[in-house]
Amino acid sequence: MLRTYNLTKRFRGTVALDGIDLDVPEGSVYALIGANGAGKTTAIKILMNILQPTSGSAETLGVDSRKLGPREFQSIGYVSENQELPEWMTVGYFLNYLKPFYPTWDDARALELLRQFDLPLDRKLKHLSRGMKMKAALASSLAYGPKLIVLDEPFTGLDPLVRDEFIEGLLESASEATIFISSHDMAEIESFSSHVGFLDNGKLRFSEEMAALSARFREVEVTLASTAALHDCPPEWLQMEASGAVVRFVDSQFDEERTLAQVKQLLGEPRDIAIRALPLRQIFVTLAKSQRRAA
């Protein structure tokens, strides 16, 4: 549904994207995570034909993103963090205005979304809160049953209740669509994404299924019989630290049998080993700090 090949974007002397190869499978809920300024919005704007790549290429719905036109956009729902809406319109007028642009517009679906999001038909968009405006933008992007839904930092500034309603409405109304979402809000992303990619300083550090990512990251705490002496350790052991006889690290390629064998070989026979799964937020922080140290 979305694909890039060695995609690069420069703004004068700044490299915003540095040769990324991205592949978003059909039917997936793909989360592109990264700190602010990592290049997420730039990648989305290229995929939506808002920006042009410096080199490499991008495809959206199998079409070169530079050639996207009305036919493709009729199958794409796009909501961005800084979405501009015609604030003089009421919610009802806004939806009626959009309807002729989309041959697959479903009036019943639109009314259901208005009810689900508790959006008042007769209220002007300028009088809505930020959360209500985001829900209005989402409703307008779901009413025609798009094949692809692209969301750029949709949770910024939303309170927890509105975020929950936003996600619930998205998943219920777009069960047959591919969803591509950029965010640095790890808790929400982890709860419903099937795939995840980590963008850091314009480079795609990994792209994989969420289940595989969660399985290969583990925090390991080793208690030794005496004070630990750290030697050269595998590069996949991140944030390694020692305090007396206790050694802690994050194994980014965890395999229980191999990891335990490495611990015994490099640190000696342990008195105790504790292994803990990591939430996505902690995986993200670990990788970001490791990349910063390596830079």
pLDDT in tens, 104-157: 999 999 999 999 889 999 999 999 988 899 889 999 999 999 999 999 988 777
Indicate the pairing of strand 237-243 with strand 246-251: antiparallel
Residue 73 predicted with pLDDT over 80:
yes
Q: Which residue has the higher pLDDT, 160 or 235?
A: 235
Residue 145: per-residue pLDDT: 93
Residue 294 predicted with pLDDT over 80:
no
Using one digit for the tens of pLDDT, what is the confidence trace for 181-195? 998 777 778 888 999
Q: Please give the mean pLDDT across all residues of the chain.
A: 90
Residue 116: per-residue pLDDT: 87
Look at 21-25, 181-185, 210-214 and tell me which has the smallest mean pLDDT: 181-185
Cα torsion 205, 210, 216, 219 to 10°: value is 90
pLDDT band of residue 290 (cuts 50, 70, 90) is confident
Share of the chain above pLDDT 90, in %: 63
pLDDT band of residue 295 (cuts 50, 70, 90) is low
Residue 235 predicted with pLDDT over 70:
yes
Q: Which residue has the higher pLDDT, 83 or 220?
A: 220
Residue 86 predicted with pLDDT over 90:
yes
Q: Which residues pair with 86 in a beta bridge?
A: none
Residue 162: per-residue pLDDT: 79
Share of the chain above pLDDT 70, in %: 97
Residue 43 predicted with pLDDT over 90:
yes
Residue 3 predicted with pLDDT over 80:
yes
